[in-house]
A and B are shown apart, each in its own frame.
Chain A
Amino acid sequence: MTALSGFLLSQWYDLRDLGNPVRALIDWINGWGDGTTFHWVGYIVAGLIGAAAIGLFLGIAMLSLIWIERKAVSRIQIRYGPNRTGPFGLLQPVADALKLMQKEALTPLAGDKIVFWLAPVVIFIPTLLVFGVLPFGPKMTAANISVAVLYIVAIGSATPLVIFMAGWSSNNKYSLLGAMRGIAMAISYEIPMVLSLLGVVLFTGHMDLNGIVQWQQKYHVWLIVLQPLAALTYFISASAELNRTPTDIAEAESEIVAGYHTEYSGMKFGLFYAVELGNALAVSGIWATLFFGGWWLFGLDRWIPAWLIFLGKMYILYGALIITRGTLPRLRIDQLLDFAWKFLLPLALVNVLVVALEVTIWQENGISAGIVLPVFAVVNILLSVVLVVGYVQSFGFARRQRPRRARLITDTLAAMPQ
């Protein structure tokens, strides 16, 4: 087997890393002429292939997610879900897309037409840009930049503004309310998000995603074991910005009709819908990269294509988002903001301090990782359990003020108020 692996290694036909054939192609292009003149062609071709691959992947992923999401949520709700179009309803996303395309697209007269048309186009860019830095495999990052962790947060902070564009340009009261709620929520959850990722950076000393994955490979551990608090705060705060059910106050259909995209119809609405799924997939992708080892799977990535491992992790983690969506009621905006500022933010700060202390102990005493990492893992897991349970005990409703059943009265006359 090792011989086979060696034979395959990094040849253009080694599809365990889809970067190999691309690199072979680029090398061939770079070799044109005297070997330096045509580098710009190679660069442009490489960039276009990477961008097109991510665009294509995102398109297919969005179609698949429509089906997965609808089917899974149906199962949660004791329904069948789509089962008429194609086997198991697999063609449902295609049917959805066709339907949306041939629907009449209305632009409200009172709205701001340019911004109204611009918003669904612009909202795609942040999603794609986040996928651009995700390592799909050891050498499969479209843009391997050194400040990727902060970059992800920065790109994510653009989405609320696009939501504001959509909401404001509709000239609709529900849209404006939705847009304002969306921004207020997004800015509140960005702080715990930044601080939770800070814990990861502090622990690994890397700000690029490849470096973080390689760190996990080097020490043979998933960061969720070492950083449960960061994983929790990141997951909650990132999924809060996705406008999905427990936190979908920006489009809260039972309150403000459809929030910021109330006025959108046809394909323009479809784009918002697709981006919502794409963003959710991006969050699960980041979660997989930072806390679940990315493309690395305890050495199995030598045999299974790394990109397949990464995709698998991404889709499995997406399941967590589906379950929260299918099972939880929506929070009110003040409760959401309270949660961000009074639960996630202190938690993230505690995490940063604890990690700083641990790294100091580790670095200053030169203890080997084999001893120190298990200890940190146990300490951090215990700490996060204590903190979360303590918070629930002191601030939660369910435990403190246990919901009693209704009082049962048989002698009604005696119980009547006088």
Chain B
Amino acid sequence: MTIQTEPFIVNIGPQHPSTHGVFRMRVVLDGEKIIDADMVVGYLHRSLEKLAEERTYTQNIPFTDRMDYLSAMSNNLGYCMAVEKLAGIRVPERGQYLRVIMAELQRIANHSMAIGTFINDCGAWQTPLMWMFAEREKILDLFEMTCGARLTCNYMRIGGVAFDIPDEFLPAVNGLLDDLPRKIDEYEKMLMENEILIARARGVGTIPRDLAISASLTGPMIRGCGIPFDIRKADPYAVYDRFDFAIPVGENGDSYDRFLVRMAELRESVKILKQAVPALPGGPYKVDVPLSIRPPIGDAYARVESPKGELGYYIVSDGGTAPYRFHVRAPSYINLSVLREMVIGASVADSIVSLGSIDIVIGEVDR
């Protein structure tokens, strides 16, 4: 016997506590079950890619800060690498090492935030988020020490980094690196065996492996499915090929696996930092590059493993001081594309967990 029920439409977002900004999910519900879902993006669109065509190459660096504002360093890095590739600039050793150190610190900061908000989306009452914030604060202090800004750092420059690190940076980062493994142990003990968290996240928002590949997911999303795809290994940039680190992968591709991958990546980042900080060479941290650089006519694509996935910049130069075309392959946006497949058939509660496990930043989705 079938009893008819009326499906009804509910908008989750744009002004919703857990859509991580102004993302909108328009779902058709049958009771609590989602039978259809539409994703609406664009509420935060600032046409960064168009604006960038009117600015010089150097002036564009602060724009990249504002895309994924939780990992400004990685964004800077990708953009500078693309311009360097276009103009054929070689970055000195010290600059490369500083870039790696900053990018990995940023990864820890971003993953702390991602894990914290993910558990918040699972319904914890702020506690894990606040605990995670404590570690993130220390990293942001390091950024402030180096470049004066905490969130939108604008630290990387074409040909190196903007400033050399201050004297108190190295002791502070060493202290942090001694502290972090203990803290990560604590978090793992707290979170990984939490019965409710496992019940809420395991088997929720599962992405089949072939879907993950065909949707070109990257970052923890694809690694959660068991595919060890990481730009740092697949297409090493900066000095990543000199360090010994592993790529954590999950098994089932569900939300819990993505959470596990992020937890493990915290450890791997600490491992990289522990190798990179003692090996930091002397010498110049930047090559002299004219402020309004004019790269030769051509195009270049550079990609980095940002905390959210493959962050790629495609720049076309017409020989002028501004890029002719500027395109960003934003990992948040592409990872978000599978959300519809994840939530249909799930309940409202599960859909929020799925969304939280993607770790999107609307600034990057909408650009």
Within the complex, are A and B direct neighbours (CB within 8 Å)?
A: yes
Residues on B with beta carbons closer than 8 Å to the beta carbon of A78:
130-131, 134
B228 touches A415 (CB 8 A): yes
- Given A245-B124, A398-B193, 18 other A-B residues pairs in contact with their CB atoms under 8 A: A76-B127, A79-B130, A177-B29, A255-B18, A255-B349, A328-B124, A328-B194, A329-B123, A329-B196, A329-B197, A401-B202, A404-B260, A405-B248, A406-B257, A406-B263, A410-B245, A416-B228, A416-B229
Report how far A327 CA is from B196 CA in the complex, Å.
11
A408 to chain B, nearest CB (A): 4
Q: How far is the CA of A322 from the CA of B202 in the complex (A)?
A: 27
A377 adjacent to chain B (CB < 8 Å):
no
Q: How far is the CA of A292 from the CA of B193 in the complex (A)?
A: 31
Q: B253 within 8 Å of A by Cβ?
A: no
Q: A257-B17, A397-B199 are in contact. Are A330 and B122 (CB under 8 A)?
A: yes
9 A-B residue pairs with CB within 8 Å: A173-B8, A245-B125, A329-B119, A330-B123, A331-B196, A335-B199, A405-B248, A406-B223, A409-B246
A33 interface contact, C-beta 8 A: no
Nearest Cβ on chain A to B239's Cβ, whole angstroms: 17
Measured in the bound complex, the distance between the Cα atoms of B248 and A131 in whole Å is 55
Does B227 have its Cβ within 8 Å of any Cβ on chain A? yes
Interface 1/0 per residue, A386-404 and B, CB below 8 Å: 0000001000111001111
Report B1 CB to chain A, min CB distance, Å: 21
Which 10 pairs between the two chains have the least Cβ-Cβ distance? Answer: A330-B123, A406-B248, A408-B246, A77-B130, A254-B18, A406-B264, A329-B124, A412-B228, A409-B228, A397-B198
Q: How many A residues face the partner with a CB closer than 8 A?
A: 48
CB-nearest residue of chain B to A417:
B227
Check if B233 is an interface residue, CB within 8 A of chain A.
yes
Answer yes or no: A17 CB below 8 A from chain B CBs. no
For the complex, is B234 an interface residue (Cβ under 8 Å from A)? yes
How close is A265's CB to chain B, nearest CB, in angstroms? 15
Are B194 and A398 in contact, with the CB atoms below 8 A? yes
Q: Tell me which residues across on chain B come within 8 A of A190, comparing CB atoms.
A: none
Among B127, B213, B230, B264, point to the contact of A77 (Cβ < 8 A).
Answer: B127
**CB-CB nearest in chain B for A330:** B123
* Contact of A208 with B by CB under 8 A: no
Asked whether B32 is an interface residue with its Cβ less than 8 Å from the other chain, the reply is yes
Contact present for A177 and B247 (CB under 8 Å): no
Known contacts A329-B200, A412-B228; A245 and B257 CB within 8 A of each other:
no
From B130, B188, B261, B349, A333 is in contact (CB under 8 Å) with B349
Partner of B124, one of A330, A333, A406, A415: A330
- Given the known interface contacts A177-B32, A255-B18, A412-B247, the answer about A332 and B200 at a Cβ–Cβ threshold of 8 Å is yes
State the interface size on chain B (CB cutoff 8 A): 60
Q: Which of B17, B131, B209 contacts A254 (CB under 8 A)?
A: B17
Cβ-based interface call for B275 (8 A): no
Interchain CA distance A334-B204 in the complex, whole Å:
14
A253 on interface, CB distance cutoff 8 Å = yes
B230 to A, closest residue via Cβ: A412
Give chain A nearest CB distance to B242 CB in angstroms: 14
Would you give the shortest CB distance from B113 to chain A, in whole angstroms?
A: 15
Contact at A409–B130, with CB atoms within 8 Å? Answer: no
Q: CA A351 – CA B194 in complex, angstroms?
A: 27
Distance A257 CA – B337 CA, assembled complex (angstroms) = 24
> Which residues of B223-261 have CB atoms within 8 Å of chain A's CB atoms?
223, 226-230, 233-234, 244-251, 256-257, 260-261
Nearest residue (CB) in A for B262 is A406
A222 at the interface (CB under 8 A from B): no
* Complex CA–CA separation, A256 to B130 (angstroms): 22
> Binary interface profile of A, 55-91, with partner B (CB < 8 Å = 1, else 0)?
0000000000000000001001111000000000000
In the assembled complex, which residues on chain A have CB atoms less than 8 Å from the CB atom of B366? none
Q: Is B44 on the interface with A (CB-CB < 8 A)?
A: no
Answer whether residue B348 sits at the interface, using C-beta atoms and an 8 A cutoff: yes
Decide yes or no: A253 and B350 within 8 Å by CB, A77-B126, A408-B264 being known contacts: no
B186 interface residue (CB < 8 Å to A) = no
Within 8 Å CB of A318, what residues of B? none
Residues of B within 8 A of A174 (CB): 10
B265-304 at interface with A (beta carbon < 8 Å): 268
B6 at interface, CB cutoff 8 A: no
B131: contacting residue among A77, A332, A410, CB under 8 A = A77
- The answer to whether A403 touches B18 (Cβ under 8 A) is no
Contact with B along A224-246 (1 / 0, CB 8 A): 00000000000000000000011
For B200, the chain A residues whose CB sits under 8 A away are 329-332, 335
Min CB gap B131→A, angstroms: 6
Indicate if A221 sits at the interface (CB-CB under 8 A).
no
A326 is an interface residue with CB less than 8 A from chain B: yes
For A331, what are the chain B residues with a Cβ–Cβ distance below 8 Å?
A: 123, 196, 199-200
For B321, list chain A residues within 8 Å (CB): none
Of the candidates B18, B125, B192, the one whose C-beta lies within 8 Å of that of A73 is: B125
Q: Tell yes or no: B121 within 8 A of A by CB.
A: yes
**Chain B residue with the shortest CB-CB distance to A77:** B130
Shortest CB distance A391–B (Å): 11
* B249 A332 Cβ-Cβ under 8 A: no
Interface 0/1 of B109-144, CB less than 8 Å to A: 000000000011111111100110010000000000
Chain A residues with CB under 8 A of B193 = 398, 402-403
Residue on B nearest A335 in the bound complex, by CB? B199
Quote the shortest CB–CB distance from A173 to chain B (angstroms).
5
- Binary interface encoding of chain A residues 243-267 relative to chain B, with 1 for a CB under 8 A from any of its CBs, else 0: 0011011001111110000000000
Q: B352 contacts the other chain (Cβ, under 8 Å)? A: yes
B168 contacts chain A at the CB level, 8 A cutoff: no
Whether, in the assembled complex, B56 has its beta carbon less than 8 Å from a beta carbon of chain A, the answer is: no
Which residue among A254, A327, A403, A409 has the maximum number of chain B CB atoms within 10 Å of its CB?
A254
Q: How far is the CA of A76 from the CA of B128 in the complex (A)?
A: 10
Are A403's CB and B256's CB within 8 A? yes
Q: Does A325 contact B (CB under 8 A)?
A: yes
Per-residue contact bits, chain B 1-37, to A (CB 8 Å; 1 contact, 0 not): 0000000101000001110000000000100100000
How far, in Å, is B139 (CB) from chain A's closest CB? 16
| B125 and A325 within 8 A (CB) | yes
Complex contact A410–B209 (CB within 8 A): no
| Given A409-B247, A410-B246, A417-B227, A254:B352 Cβ within 8 A | yes
A103 adjacent to chain B (CB < 8 Å) = no
**In the complex, A181 Cα to B347 Cα: how many Å?**
12
In the complex, are the beta carbons of B123 and A248 less than 8 A apart?
A: yes
- In whole angstroms, how far apart are the Cα atoms of A77 and B120 in the complex? 13
Q: Say if the beta carbon of B167 comes within 8 Å of chain A.
A: no
Cβ-defined partner of B196 (8 Å) among A252, A328, A409: A328
B-chain residues with CB within 8 Å of residue A333 when the two chains form the complex:
32, 347, 349
Mask, A302-345, CB within 8 Å of B = 1, is 00000000000000000000000111111111110000000000
- Knowing A77-B130, A331-B196 are in contact, say whether A412-B349 is a contact too (CB < 8 A): no
From A253, A257, A407, residue with most partner B Cβ within 10 Å: A407
Instruction: Name the A residues within 8 Å of B134 (CB-CB).
Output: 78
**Chain A residue at minimal CB-CB distance from B121:** A254
A73 to B127, CA, bound (A): 8
Q: Which residues of A contact B226 (CB under 8 A)?
A: 407, 417
Q: Is the CB of B10 within 8 A of A173?
A: yes
